[in-house]
Amino acid sequence: MNKRQFFKTGILGIGALLVSSKLKALEYYPTKPGTKWAVVFSTWCGSSRDAGVWISEGMDGIADVFDVRENPDISKYKNIVIGGSIRSSKVSDEMQQFIANNKSELRGKVRGLFAVCGNMMQPPTNEQTNSLIDNHLAKLCGVENVPSKVFLGRVTYGLMDESSRQMLQGFNMPEYDNLKRAECMAFGKEIKSSV
């Protein structure tokens, strides 16, 4: 291989890597080929990413898992699970926008909804299900009575932007980790068996 060919091959290789890393995202997490399931999550510091992956694991890895910021094309999926972390009682603007942009594509496909919140480290009750799922995420998606779950999440100060960190520390909030893989997997099984 001469010098020119060497550089050409190198540049093509790097280009291919950049393209594939943009398109593949979380597809390398355990999943089944030709899946008709997708989990789309929104997160700031990662709790909902882990919840999304663990929900898919509970479904025996049948779902592709996407961060909503990838703006995934969901047209090839028949079954979609939507969920996100909560700040100021809402999912992220990106998730709200994604749902609005995909309203017609989501119609008849939403099989499960989840929210991940702090809830002052208290176990979620019907109140959180009502406010975060029934009166928020379900309304955004235009669905009723799909399997849903509110999980407790995490606070990791080192991952947080400065103003959020100051806000939470102003409440004397300690770091915590209340997200449970077993609960996420159980919810995945519930969703799968509901279809």
Ligand X SMILES: Cc1cc2nc3c(=O)[nH]c(=O)nc-3n(C[C@H](O)[C@H](O)[C@H](O)COP(=O)(O)O)c2cc1C
User: Which is nearer to ligand X, 44 or 60 (by Cβ)?
Assistant: 44
CB of 75 to ligand X, least distance (A): 26
CB of 34 to ligand X, least distance (A): 29
Q: H or E element: which one contains 80?
A: strand 79-85
Q: Sign of dihedral through CA atoms 131, 133, 139, 140?
A: positive
Q: How many CA atoms lie within 13 A of 178 on its CB side?
A: 17
Q: Which two tokens stand for residue 39?
A: 């989990």
Distance CA 155, CA 161 (A): 12
Sheet with 148-152, side-by-side order of all strands: 63-67, 37-42, 79-85, 110-117, 148-152
Q: Does 43 bind ligand X (CB under 6 A)?
A: yes
- How many residues does the structure list for the chain? 195
Within 101-130, the residues that bind ligand X by CB under 6 A are 116-119
Q: Does 92 bind ligand X (CB under 6 A)?
A: no
Distance CA 65, CA 53 (A): 6
Q: Does 52 bind ligand X (CB under 6 A)?
A: no
Q: Does 45 bind ligand X (CB under 6 A)?
A: yes
User: Which is nearer to ligand X, 36 or 87 (by Cβ)?
Assistant: 87
Q: Does 148 bind ligand X (CB under 6 A)?
A: no
User: Which is nearer to ligand X, 146 or 173 (by Cβ)?
Assistant: 173
Distance CA 145, CA 143 (A): 7
Residue nearest to ligand X (CB): 153
Do the Cβ atoms of 118 and 151 come closer than 8 Å?
A: no
> Residues binding ligand X: what is the number (CB under 6 A)?
22
User: Which is nearer to ligand X, 43 or 148 (by Cβ)?
Assistant: 43
User: Which is nearer to ligand X, 101 or 125 (by Cβ)?
Assistant: 125
Within 7-26, the residues that bind ligand X by CB under 6 A are none
Instruction: Tell which one of 25, 146, 167, 185 touches ligand X (CB under 6 A).
Output: 167
> What CA dihedral angle connects 100, 134, 131 and 192, to 10 degrees?
-90
Residues that bind ligand X (CB under 6 A): 43-48, 85-89, 116-119, 153-155, 160, 164, 167-168
